[in-house]
Amino acid sequence: MSRKRNAHRSPDMPTLADVARLAGVSEITASRVVRAQGPIADATRTRVLNAIAELGYIPNRAAGSLASAGSTLMSVLLPSLSNIVFPDVLRGIHTALTQTAFQPVIGVTDYDPLVEERILVSFLAWQPAAIILAGLHHTPTARRHLEHGRFRVAELMDIDGDPVDIAVGMSHRQAGYDTGRHLIQRGYRRFGYAGHSVVFDDRATARYEGLCTSLREAGLSLVAEHRHPGPSSTMAGRDSLEILLATEPGLDVVVFPNDDMAMGGIFHCMHVGITVKQQLGIFGFNGLDIGQAMSMPLSTILSKRFLIGKTAAEKLLESRERPEEKTIINTGYEIIEGATA
């Protein structure tokens, strides 16, 4: 019989046809039970469910996806997993998807738009229901694919720009600006900035620019800045502050692109005996748990990473069709006064 092709399959992996036969219904009815779709008599449903349990049937999603020209996959493209920000976003996404049929498929771009484009294309091959990426900045090819596809798109983290479909995040430029205003108001005047390689993280750059703008408006400017070559880390923050202070000892506050580096800055101060806040203010970004667990909690800005991921995933599930109107959701942020600046 027509089992000749089955040689390459697992021994007797049951199919929907097997389930249907055992339950004494047609394939399509069994299919409807599996998908909980369309009207099914209770008795029928029970028979099919029993057959499924008895055979240990597992639906073949590749076949389903092919037949229905769609899947329950949600592609998630993140710049990095080292930066705790993105695991937090991912948790939010996961939380929103937990009770649904959707599954996240993740890819990591290393902050490289070309890598993002490559991974995007390989994800499109699975006909995902939705795509989540970070930022509003993509290659022209990637943007074209995003615009023309039959799937929802959410661009996370930043909202300063023109999204393809949905943007969820906050204004990083504004956050940087507010950082400057906040610190100026608290009396700081001689600003330093200890960042990391600019090829990483557009958002950090936007905050930096916002900071500079606020300083300029107040008739100030950055007295000194140092950029650690390579990605951000606590050690990078510690080293950067040391270098910064060696070249410019008269700073009264240093802004870091994130809490990890700011923590490193605090460790440097502790090491060389600088009184944080009195002698030197330290300001971070993200509002990580660890910074708030210090007896002297870190002054920083709380970004709502989990909320961003969760909101985006929920919004994407609202409708399969892309609406006419683009959606921009501002999850905002909060300045945490803390005790370090």
Partner DNA sequence: GCGTTTTATGGTAGCGCTGTCATTATTCTT
Partner DNA sequence: AAGAATAATGACAGCGCTACCATAAAACGC
Interface residues toward DNA, by CB under 7 A: 2-9, 13, 15-17, 24-29, 31-32, 34-35, 37-41, 43-44, 57, 59-60, 63-64, 66-69
Report the nearest approach of DNA to the CB of residue 1 (Å): 9
Give the SS3 label for residue 220. Answer: coil
Least Å from the CB of residue 106 to a copy of itself: 5
94 is an interface residue for a copy of itself by CB under 8 A: yes
Site string for a copy of itself, 108-127 (x = CB under 8 A): x------------xxxxxxx
Instruction: State the angle between helix axes of 113-124 and 140-148 in degrees (0 to 180), rounded to the nearest 10.
Output: 30
Spatial separation of the C-alpha atoms in residues 119 and 109, rounded to whole Å: 8
Residue among 11 and 187 whose Cβ is closer to DNA: 11
**Angle at alpha carbon of residue 143, lines to 139 and 146, rounded to 5°:** 140
Residue spans of beta strands (DSSP E) within 121-260: 130-134, 152-158, 166-170, 191-196, 224-228, 253-255
CA–CA dist 264, 341 (Å, integer): 15
* Selected binder of a copy of itself within 2, 10, 99, 278 (CB under 8 A): 10
The entry of DNA, a copy of itself, none near residue 221 (CB within 5 to 8 angstroms by kind) is: none
Please give the single-letter amino acid code of residue 68. Answer: S
- Can you tell me the distance from the alpha carbon of 200 to that of 197, in angstroms, rounded to the nearest whole number? 6
What's the min distance (Å) between Cβ of 68 and DNA?
3
Strand ranges, E, within 64-102: 73-78
- Tell me which residues touch a copy of itself (CB under 8 A): 8-10, 58-63, 65-66, 69, 71, 73, 81-82, 84, 86-88, 90-91, 94, 103-108, 121-127, 148-150, 233-235, 237-238, 260, 263-264, 267, 270-271, 289-290, 292-295
